[in-house]
Amino acid sequence: MMKKNGLKIVTIGGGSSYTPELMNGFIKRYETLPIREIWLVDIEEGREKLEIVGALAKRMWEASPYDVDIHLTLDRREALKDADFVTTQLRAGLLNARIKDERIPLSYGQIGQETNGAGGIFKALRTIPVILDIVKDMRELCPDAWLINFTNPSGMITEAVIQHAGFEKCLGLCNGPITVMMEEPEILGGRQEDFIFRFAGLNHFHYHRVFRAEDRREVTGEILARLAGDPRANMQNVHDEEYLNDQLLAMNCIPFSYHRYYYQYEEMLERQLEDYRNHTTRAESVKAVEDELFQLYRDPALHEMPELLKKRGGRYYSDAACEAINNIHNSTGNIMIVNTINRGAVSDLPYNCITEVSSVITAAGAQPLVWGTFEPSERGYLQMMKAMEETVIRAAVTGDYGTLLKAFQMNPLIRHGKKAREMMDEMLVANEKDLPLFRDVIQELKQKGVAVRDETVRELCRKEASSDTMNL
């Protein structure tokens, strides 16, 4: 795969605040992952951030012992030509869209979250068409390249790429499982290498089991018994609401942090509503952290990843993205947790659907490890969530209003009824700029008087309407 002079890697969404961590990951792995050039790609709307992050990326490589060319461009097709790996970390609609995804549902008294509930659905609607356009360019310009996707919702995007575009050289990633494996061993007073982890399920809706490495003895039950009230295995961007002890003790697998939105809905909603009233929703907090990060990035003396980046919410991101590339390039056979074709690993889900599962990674891609079947409670949730994801993807690629409404009615974080439809209509209008396939539907809704109620979101929409810049 590698060309004579090294690898060409393209990062779409190169102006992201995550890019310095990605560069750090590549620098650490250069001896096994020799890179010739890295292209950082963004859109006109992200030009300033691209230039700031790109300058820091160049300084990071100049401070290293390695000679790698860093290119910055707004021309995606120029960058993609003859690429070996393409990484995607884009956010269609930028952080303003995330603010909409969180504040509008919360204004209706419902969970507002980036990849779950109504917010997750709309993030998929904005993002899937963009990713499919990227894949179309890849087919023409770098057909042998691997697409390593870190853009959320990672599972749905990977499914759209593989099942709808038929582009199978794609892995979807998430830093969540890495966070678990880095921090959960502390609960039992051990180190990561002392345990074997096995994951299965869906992106942001997976479960896992844990075994001691020395004798393969399962310790899942011990972790479940200690999990309640212990935040060490929790994602930084999820409130540490305690699970119900009796429920945990009745489970034979460990739920992910995001399951709190489903199992502890009312408690999580109350915490979010407080943030909504105080303008400290996760999206608004991240925007403040990003502003601070870019002030640091501007410093010409800075030539390494700043500590503040860990507060951004994507810890261990480079360990997922860079390690996936390293494992494919060197056909290592190492185990990673990735979004890939199920191939029967989770017998409760369709054979060809995309699951997030522990997999052996080689030059051929991911070979998922067999998990088997789940108990009825977890099985039911997974099957409903997978069907909901498939319906969302269909809505994203067709722009069909009725299909989107069906997805809303299936999602367990959306309280159904008239208010849910009103919320969906308002979110369509608020996202008009980034939903071209729904343009006619949105015009009809506006003619019927549907408008944005939340003042913060309304102001964002006013600013977008006065701007001539377009997204990817």
Q: Which residues contact 153 (CB under 8 A, 6 or more apart)?
A: 115, 120, 123, 124, 127, 203, 204, 389
Q: Kindly indicate the confidence band of residue 25, based on its pLDDT and cuts at 50, 70 and 90.
A: very high
Residue 471: its pLDDT value, please? 35
Comparing 417 with 413, the larger pLDDT belongs to 413
d(CA 308, CA 293): 7
The token pair that represents 187 in the structure block:
């609960």
Mean pLDDT is lowest, of 232-241, 263-272, 424-433, for 232-241
| Contact call for residues 411 and 117 (beta carbons, < 8 A) | yes
pLDDT tens across 337-395, in order? 999 999 999 999 999 999 999 999 999 999 999 999 999 999 999 999 999 999 999 99
Residue 472 has pLDDT above 60, yes or no: no
Please identify which of the residues 207, 243, 258, 317 carries the catalytic annotation: 258
Report the percentage of the chain scoring pLDDT > 90. 86
Residue 468 has pLDDT above 50, yes or no: no
String of DSSP letters for 233-264: GS-TTS--PPPPHHHHHT-SSEEPGGGHHHHT
pLDDT tens across 259-296, in order? 999 999 999 999 999 999 999 999 999 999 999 999 99
Alpha helices (H) along 63-211 = 76-80, 94-107, 117-141, 154-159, 176-183
| Contact call for residues 12 and 145 (beta carbons, < 8 A) | no
Residue 237 has pLDDT above 90, yes or no: no
Q: Where are the domains of the chain?
A: 7-92+102-172, 395-465
Q: Which of 149, 206, 144 is nearest to 371 (CA)?
A: 206
Residue 465 has pLDDT above 90, yes or no: no
Residue 314: its pLDDT value, please? 58
d(CA 223, CA 351): 30
What type of residue sits at position 70?
Answer: I
| Contact call for residues 42 and 15 (beta carbons, < 8 A) | yes
To the query of whether residue 243 is one of the catalytic residues in this protein, the response is no
Determine the topology of domain 7-92+102-172 in CATH: Rossmann fold (3.40.50)
Residue 90: its pLDDT value, please? 95
Report the percentage of the chain scoring pLDDT > 70. 94
